[in-house]
């Protein structure tokens, strides 16, 4: 990470915080604490470690990001938006509104880039373990050298 752009990191984390504040304020409800408090961690994880492709969100070999605390969904929506997934700013402005792509808790199959529906605290770990076991099985069966 010697070439890590700290200024870009700060801008991304600040943008996540700003998007979160604006969305929760406009919706009149929501949970801003988790996205604001974890923005720095999420930026490093998302940009330096997570293997994903916004142009091919269903790439089979991608890493899965499971937001167990689904009430902090603005963190995930902001990351998806900022990294180029098909989640325009208008959808973030419609956070928690009927028929938006940004419901209060992430929903699998509803918003591109959301890997699993979360809400109740703690369910994410079981989802993530299941995904990891499935990936291990698939890799043993299909991965080949070269």
95 occurs within a structural domain = yes
Asked whether residue 123 carries a pLDDT value surpassing 90, the answer given is: no
Asked whether residue 112 carries a pLDDT value surpassing 60, the answer given is: yes
Q: Indicate which CATH number applies to the domain containing 117.
A: 3.40.50.970
Give the per-residue pLDDT at 127: 94
85 occurs within a structural domain = yes
Its domain, for residue 77, covers 6-142
CB atoms within 10 A of CB 30: 20
Instruction: Please name the residue that has the structure tokens 């408090």.
Output: 37
First to last CA, the chain: 27
pLDDT, tens digit, 9 for 90 and up, residues 32-63: 999 999 999 999 999 999 999 999 999 988 99
Q: Are the beta carbons of 76 and 23 closer than 8 angstroms?
A: no
pLDDT, tens digit, 9 for 90 and up, residues 66-97: 999 999 999 999 999 999 999 999 999 999 99
Q: Are the beta carbons of 13 and 37 closer than 8 angstroms?
A: no
Distance (Å, whole) CA 129 – CA 146: 28
State the average pLDDT for the chain. 95
**What's the per-residue H, E or C state across 68-121?**
CCHHHHHHHHHHHHHCCCCCCHHHHHCCCCCCCCCCCCCCCCCCCCCCCCCCCC
Give the per-residue pLDDT at 1: 54
54 occurs within a structural domain = yes
135 occurs within a structural domain = yes
Q: How many domains does the chain have?
A: 1
pTM over 0.75: yes
10 occurs within a structural domain = yes
Distance (Å, whole) CA 140 – CA 142: 6
Give the per-residue pLDDT at 122: 77
How confident is the model over 128-137, as a mean pLDDT?
A: 96
Cβ contacts of 11 within 8 Å, gap of 6 or more: none
Residue of 83, 76, 82, 80 lying closest to 118 (CA atoms): 76
78 occurs within a structural domain = yes
How confident is the model over 98-113, as a mean pLDDT?
A: 96
122 occurs within a structural domain = yes
1 occurs within a structural domain = no
């Amino acid at each position: 990470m010697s070439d890590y752009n700290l200024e870009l990191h700060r801008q991304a984390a600040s943008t996540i915080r700003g998007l979160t504040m604006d969305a929760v304020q406009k919706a009149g409800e929501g949970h801003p604490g988790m996205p604001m408090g974890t923005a720095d961690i999420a930026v490093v994880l998302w940009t330096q470690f997570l293997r994903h492709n916004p142009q091919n969100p269903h790439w089979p070999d991608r890493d899965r990001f499971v937001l167990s605390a689904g009430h902090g969904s603005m963190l995930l929506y902001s990351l998806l938006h900022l990294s180029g997934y098909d989640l325009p700013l208008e959808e973030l402005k419609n956070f928690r509104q009927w028929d938006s792509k940004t419901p209060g808790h992430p929903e699998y199959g509803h918003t591109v880039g959301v890997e699993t529906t979360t809400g109740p605290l703690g369910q994410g770990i079981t989802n993530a373990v299941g995904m990891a076991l499935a990936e291990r099985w698939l890799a043993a069966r299909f991965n080949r050298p070269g």
